[in-house]
Amino acid sequence: MKKLRIGITGQEGFVGKYLYNTLALSPEKFEQIDFNKDYFDSQTKLNNFVAQCDVIVHLAALNRHPDPEVIYNTNVDLVKKLILALEACQSKAHVLFSSSSQEENENLYGKSKKEGRELLAKWADHSGGKFTGMVIPNVFGPFGKPYYNSFIATFCHQLSHNEQPKIEKDADVRLIYIGDLVNVITSEILKEVGNNVFLVPHTDQKKVSDILAQLGVFKSEYLDAGIIPELKDPFEVNLFNTFRSYMDIKNHYPVKFVKHADPRGVFVEVIRLNVGGQVSFSTTVPGITRGNHFHTRKIERFAVIKGKALIQLRKIGTEDVLDFYLDGSEPAYVDMPIWYTHNIKNIGDEELYTNFWINEFFNQDDPDTYFETV
């Protein structure tokens, strides 16, 4: 099967980076054509990018600016430049465009997205190209930019930095988790026929105050007390993983356990949780490293109870490695954020004992485990 060559404008943005990293998990299906935002400053570079692509996912856009006219003009100009490149290359690429549910509002951002979608639909009609105009509800998920991408990103940032969020308007909001959106985009990429107006269905509808209340529970139970909160449905799991991504991981871990000692020995409470899952343990001989993989949804805790360990984390797509040193003489834990590859190495002279907890049973058919060296 021939690989699809896929380019993503806005590759470094919130949705773009998540889509790029997800497609990278299927190298047998997709070849990624890298995009740089300065391509829009050079029609030659943009033409060269377009000429290489079977599929173009156009995500590049300006969301916020003090002057709404700047937002409108920027977003429409980006579409017009892309169309010029498509015409110059006589491209028959499948173009997927990310519009917004704000199309139905009277603001200039929504107007710019609607006009951009309509311009690309006209290009497809005239050129014989394929076009999918995705009208997307409010997107939330890990690593979104606070005060820019989503009110959920802002709330998570504020709570994890001991600030108190304020609700400007307590409305019902239609939401889609970024992982679900990326699955929708991937499905549309593979379809034979485009759709000029594709209303991406929301997965959840929540009141702003209810979301803030749930995030407040995550802060008090998890961030402050180390308790894994009750997660009743996929939305709460996704919201929890979103919240965790805004923590100051470097300075939060390792978290030392409370030891209760008496003449019999020591008792240590490893985990308090209001959610199920699977508990396991391992022994590791000196010098051996376990792991070097990451998860996209699982919640996982490593607790060192005997021996000396180095736990390393690296966010996918970055080079910075976080090192955490743990010693069983002072038992401690580190939780694994999603999209961080991680490992654990025995750096001592004796056998290392580690307890592991993960929030779901291991499923060989859907392991959510991707190997990558830290």
Q: What is the pLDDT of residues 314-362, one digit of tens each?
A: 999 999 999 999 999 999 999 999 999 999 999 999 999 999 999 998 8
Average of per-residue pLDDT across 149-168: 96
Give the integer Cα–Cα distance in Å for 131 and 118.
10
The whole-number pLDDT of residue 111 equals: 94
| pLDDT at residue 150 tops 80 | yes
For 228-285, the pLDDT digits (tens) are 999 999 999 999 999 999 999 999 999 999 888 878 877 788 898 888 889 999 999 9
| Residue 316 · residue 340 · CB < 8 Å | yes
| 46-76 pLDDT, tens digit each | 999 999 999 999 999 998 899 999 999 999 9
* SS3 assignment, position 311: strand
Q: Which residue has the tokens 């607790």?
A: 303
Q: What is the CB-side half-sphere exposure of residue 198 using CA atoms within 13 A?
A: 21
What is the C-alpha separation between 23 and 94, in angstroms, rounded? 16
Cα–Cα distance measured from residue 185 to residue 32, given in angstroms and rounded to the nearest whole number: 15
pLDDT digits (tens, 9 = 90+) for 198-207: 999 999 999 9
- Intra-chain end-to-end CA distance of the chain, in Å: 31
Domains and CATH numbers, the chain: 4-136 (3.40.50.720), 249-371 (2.60.120.10)
Read off the pLDDT of residues 289-310 as tens digits, 9 standing for 90 and up.
999 999 999 999 999 999 999 9
What's the pLDDT score for residue 263? Answer: 86
Q: What is the pLDDT of residue 275?
A: 84
26 pLDDT more than 90: yes
Question: Is residue 197 within a helix (H) or strand (E), and if so which, with residue range?
Answer: strand 195-199
Give the residue among 251, 323, 264, 261 at the shortest CA–CA distance from 289: 323
Residue pair 236/217 in contact by the 8 Å Cβ criterion? no
> Could you tell me which residue, 117 or 194, shows the higher pLDDT?
117
Confidence of residue 1 (pLDDT cuts 50, 70, 90): low
Asked if 139 contacts 242 with a C-beta cutoff of 8 angstroms, the reply is no
Cβ–Cβ < 8 Å for 54, 8? no
Question: Cα(318)–Cα(146) distance, rounded to whole angstroms?
Answer: 20
Closest CA to 239 of 259, 258, 222: 222
